[in-house]
Amino acid sequence: MGDGSSYCFYREVQRFRQPWVWLLIALVAGISVWGVVQQLVLGKPFGQNPASDTVLLIVAVVFGLGFPVLFWTASLTTEVRSDGLYYRYFPFHWSFRRISSQELLRYDVIAYHPVRDYGGWGIRYGRGSKAYNVSGNHGVMLELSDGRKLLIGSQKAQELASAISLALGKRSG
d(CA 81, CA 138): 21
Model confidence over 1-16: pLDDT tens digits? 445 567 889 999 999 8
Q: Are residues 115 and 128 in the same domain?
A: yes
Strands 138-144 and 129-133: unpaired
Write down which residue in 53, 73, 93 finishes a domain.
Answer: 73
Element (H, E) at 68: helix 67-73
Model confidence over 5-61: pLDDT tens digits? 678 899 999 998 777 878 988 999 999 999 999 999 999 999 888 889 999 999 999
Q: Are residues 92 and 27 in the same domain?
A: no
**Residue 159: Cβ within 10 Å count:** 16
Q: What is the arithmetic mean of pLDDT over 80-89?
A: 94
Please indicate, yes or no, if residue 102 is contained in any of the structural domains. Answer: yes
Our count of domains for the chain comes to: 2
Please indicate, yes or no, if residue 52 is contained in any of the structural domains. Answer: yes
Please indicate, yes or no, if residue 1 is contained in any of the structural domains. Answer: no
Cα 147 to the chain's mean position, in Å?
Answer: 23
Buried b (16+ CB within 10 A) or exposed e, 18-55: eeeeeeebeeebeebbebbebbeeeeeebeeeeeeeee
Mean pLDDT of all residues belonging to the chain:
90
Q: Are residues 64 and 88 in the same domain?
A: no
Q: Are residues 54 and 122 in the same domain?
A: no
Model confidence over 126-168: pLDDT tens digits? 878 999 999 889 999 999 999 999 999 999 999 999 999 988 7
Q: Are residues 66 and 89 in the same domain?
A: no
At residue 71, the pLDDT reads: 84
Cα dihedral 51, 53, 58, 60 sign: positive
> Which is higher by pLDDT, 87 or 51?
87
Specify whether the CB–CB gap between 105 and 171 falls below 8 A: no
d(CA 99, CA 124): 18
Q: Are residues 117 and 157 in the same domain?
A: yes
Q: Are residues 56 and 40 in the same domain?
A: yes
At residue 170, the pLDDT reads: 62
What pTM value is reported for the model?
0.82
Q: What CATH number does residue 92 fall under? A: 2.30.29
Please indicate, yes or no, if residue 130 is contained in any of the structural domains. Answer: yes
Please indicate, yes or no, if residue 173 is contained in any of the structural domains. Answer: no
- Tell me the residue range of the domain where 43 lies: 17-73
